Structure 1
């Protein structure tokens, strides 16, 4: 290979998913010998980009040139044969095969006619290199998480790549394991021609990458030497969401109707005091005296298999409160939301609603008046907008169903106009309106909003948070799980900032807003 020629040149890559532009004219150049990090907030388009570079995702437009060869039309298998290797966020080994057999499967896909002894020798060299030779004959399902992460790297190296792309290899690891991973990545620099690291554990990119590229809303936001990028106030603003300006709330919202709709559940009297009517706009919302305790978590631990995600969460939510749970992707926010909604069973600790222990299961939690607006929207594409809404209120009589629909349409007029359209035919922002409206149709006492701003343009985020401001004025209790700090702080009464599955910072909104540790937690410089 000619070292004067870039190893990889990606130009003006575009990828759309319906109304969502996941990657918007992103260009990237990687020189031979470079280790480049790609960072950005959740939903920025990083994983889509690595799919475009590796060939797993087909671009709508743009080009990819690898080692001087145009591979734009080549699929993932062909690019792997040419020398592009990658790992995945979630390790995907063959669990019933041994560690060595996992590498052999990768090796034979590239070198199908190599004698077995030669293939085994090549795989064992990779296993030795990645610290796995001692477990070569062990069934993969017996490996702990760090070793599964190492196996992901080893399988990619078995393809003898020129370019190694590491996608969220640090996710789910504790600090000591991250240290081991960093040592492994650093040691690989001389064995491949280039490395691209997509990572939310910023310690990994800070210690491994010479250059960083920041992606935001599918576009390249900033790039340069790692130290300079991480020190940038503009980059910090991307992670914190401080680049937006509060806007006046829409005058189309019919607040009186919404108060009747969501201030109380139809079958549960409310003891909260009547909400104070205040001028429109999130910044104008004033805190109310919270009512009785609705939700309590004590010492909650949870994870996925061997991945430990929550590490002792204590949380209390009272009637009428708006609680924000913040943190970068991978800190445990969505897992916490799923534990509260009954989707994920905690491994330890207790969850109580109205002072009583909650039996596991989403249907049991929903019956207690808790609802979740899930990350990713989960719209039923085969149903119309109105059918998606009605599904959440099944069992309600016709007059009650119509009243609930009218209240949702008052909050989101876009949905009324498109009520006969397929749910997934709308833009990403309109689909998020539908997801919020569907959660409201159940008349919950408490809604968990999980990353509702994910992947949306700032103007659409503003519209959604204006709607949440109106819901706060009705007295609806909300738990907002969010990465966009400023929008959440404009709305919340109390804030918890997560790091490594724990609340690293907690307090009233103003104290958190002015705490210098907040920025440290988001840009990875906290101790």
Structure 2
């Protein structure tokens, strides 16, 4: 049996007297698209931050591709092949769209010179549908295009796993559909995805598995159709209509 791409063993994280993560354990296999859901304040972004090196766990172990990365700083984790987007999108505003992605390619994509990084960045912008905006200042982009820029920057790191932190939040239905197609295309590249998402129609539309956090603890882990009918998940997050009809998705 192949080793998991990512493994968490009893990971906890406290801020003073507040325990934000409580003995969280799970594995991520190569090629999965995992939906990470839970109420506001459940610890979802904190979990991403712990895995990506922003926060050091108080206890437990995080292993990525067989290497213990517990407590490694975020830049080293990124170099190892784990990328992430941010819920609040903050590109370098005065730099062009292309320059933003080129910087990411130079930092973590293994590029040897500026020309190589620029060419690779152009490929990522084409992939996410931003080629026409390459020369524009990042500050001029719409919300939907800034979120695509986040995706392009993460892909410029050549990740094997990417965390998507609410990349669909605030998008209209057309932009949402476009982003979902990009997510599917990222997965088709062989990149493993864990995405924080509140829109259940998105989670059920693309996820192969769902993790559910509540108050920093993992309360469910499994195939989507089973998880959304779990009484604990229904009570903690989804609401009674999911128990009555798991196919009726109203985000």
TM-score of the alignment, normalized to the shorter chain, above 0.5: yes
User: Secondary structure of 2:188's match?
Assistant: coil
User: Secondary structure of 1:185's match?
Assistant: helix
Equivalent residue, structure 2, for 1:151: 149
| Unaligned ranges ≥5, structure 1 | 242-515
Equivalent residue, structure 1, for 2:88: 90
Native 8 Å contact 1:517 1:526 kept in 2: no
| Unaligned ranges ≥5, structure 2 | none
Q: How does the TM-score come out when normalised to structure 1?
A: 0.45
Q: Which structure's relative contact order is higher, taking Cα pairs within 8 Å and 6+ residues apart?
A: 2
How far did residue 138 of structure 1 move?
A: 0.9
Distance 1:145 1:524, change over 3 A: farther
Equivalent residue, structure 1, for 2:51: 53
Once residues 132 and 229 of structure 2 are traced to their aligned partners in structure 1, the CA distance between those partners, rounded to angstroms, is 41
Native 8 Å contact 1:132 1:151 kept in 2: yes
Deviation by residue 1:31-76 (Cα, 9 ceiling, x = unmatched): 1111111110111111111111111111001111101111113110
Native 8 Å contact 2:35 2:197 kept in 1: yes
Distance 1:56 1:192, change over 3 A: farther
Deviation by residue 1:215-258 (Cα, 9 ceiling, x = unmatched): 111111011101221233331110168xxxxxxxxxxxxxxxxx
Aligned pairs (5 A) from 1:477-516: none
Equivalent residue, structure 2, for 1:186: 184
1:104 to 2:102 alignment? yes
How far did residue 192 of structure 1 move?
A: 3.8
Once residues 35 and 125 of structure 1 are traced to their aligned partners in structure 2, the CA distance between those partners, rounded to angstroms, is 23
Native 8 Å contact 2:36 2:211 kept in 1: yes
Aligned pairs (5 A) from 1:63-82: 63-82=61-80
Distance 1:524 1:199, change over 3 A: farther
Equivalent residue, structure 1, for 2:218: 220
Q: How does the TM-score come out when normalised to structure 2?
A: 0.93
How far did residue 18 of structure 1 move?
A: 1.6
Q: 2:60 aligns with which of 54, 59, 62?
A: 62
Native 8 Å contact 2:10 2:25 kept in 1: yes
Native 8 Å contact 2:109 2:156 kept in 1: no
Native 8 Å contact 2:105 2:111 kept in 1: no
Native 8 Å contact 1:202 1:524 kept in 2: no
Once residues 41 and 243 of structure 2 are traced to their aligned partners in structure 1, the CA distance between those partners, rounded to angstroms, is 19
Between structure 1 and structure 2, the one with the greater Rg is 1
Native 8 Å contact 1:164 1:192 kept in 2: no
How far did residue 180 of structure 1 move?
A: 1.2
Native 8 Å contact 1:161 1:192 kept in 2: no
How far did residue 113 of structure 1 move?
A: 6.4
Native 8 Å contact 1:229 1:235 kept in 2: yes
User: Secondary structure of 1:189's match?
Assistant: helix
User: Secondary structure of 1:21's match?
Assistant: strand
Equivalent residue, structure 2, for 1:174: 172
Deviation by residue 1:62-103 (Cα, 9 ceiling, x = unmatched): 111101111113110000000000000011101111100001
User: Secondary structure of 1:102's match?
Assistant: helix
Equivalent residue, structure 2, for 1:526: 250
Equivalent residue pairs, number = 251
User: Secondary structure of 1:72's match?
Assistant: coil
Once residues 73 and 524 of structure 1 are traced to their aligned partners in structure 2, the CA distance between those partners, rounded to angstroms, is 41
Distance 1:12 1:117, change over 3 A: same
